[in-house]
Amino acid sequence: MEKFKQDLPRLAIFARYLLPAVFGIFLFGFSFADGVRFYMNGRPMKMSLFAFYKNTLTSAHTYLAGTTDTQANWFYGLMAGGAILFALLYLLALGFSLLAAYTACRALWQGRSEDEINRMKVIFKIAFANRKMLFAANCLYLVPVLFPEYFSAVGRRFLAISGRETVYVDVNGYLIATLIMVALTLALALLIKRWEYQKSMNMFVVDRAADEA
């Protein structure tokens, strides 16, 4: 127990940088499970996040190639553009998370040379100038998991007018999981701030003797 108490600050610091990267990989696998419960014209249904994206792009390609309905064109154009943008933001969030995890582990792991530690910190600070930017990068995961809500909102705007089927999201398991990750990340970030200085494990200070970032 005493050893665990001694190691807790280091474990918490590593957890803060590793959690978003691990979650990003988990989210990709989770996206194939039926994590969204919604109603389509009053009928309860379940669908995976991956299916939302895939079906949207497939339907958009089909409709945009053969329909002249203005409402449908607007709907599927916005859906296809949104799906592509949201997917790119997921990749951006994952890329930032992996970069933060890699540079933090390389810089904070014991036994590294001072030159290597500072090199990793410089790379880290190029991407994340401060803690707020790092947390904002972690929050990017919220955008792609909100695609079902985006689909529902745009559908109600363009399709309900013409009497087509509309989607109302009831429960979004991906959003719940992401909110939990964001809350844990924020809690860890607040918890470790003092420990980072005590243990000389501050990723925002390139020179160990530098002032607080």
pLDDT tens digits, one per residue of 149-170: 999 888 877 765 444 567 889 9
What pLDDT is attached to residue 24?
A: 98
What pLDDT is attached to residue 212?
A: 44
pLDDT in tens, 17-45: 999 999 999 999 999 999 999 998 788 99
* pLDDT score of 208 more than 60: no
User: Total structural domains in the chain?
Assistant: 1
What average pLDDT does the segment 174-190 reach? 97
In this structure, is residue 203 part of a structural domain?
A: no
In this structure, is residue 136 part of a structural domain?
A: yes
In this structure, is residue 115 part of a structural domain?
A: yes
Q: Which residue has the higher pLDDT, 43 or 97?
A: 97
For residue 168, the enclosing domain spans 2-35+45-198
Q: How many CB atoms lie within 10 A of CB 46?
A: 14
What pLDDT is attached to residue 155?
A: 81
Mean pLDDT value across the chain: 88
In this structure, is residue 56 part of a structural domain?
A: yes
In this structure, is residue 133 part of a structural domain?
A: yes
In this structure, is residue 6 part of a structural domain?
A: yes
What pLDDT is attached to residue 113?
A: 83
In this structure, is residue 205 part of a structural domain?
A: no
* pLDDT score of 211 more than 50: no
Q: What's the burial of 13, exposed, middle or buried (CB within 10 Å: 0-12/13-18/19+)?
A: buried
In this structure, is residue 147 part of a structural domain?
A: yes
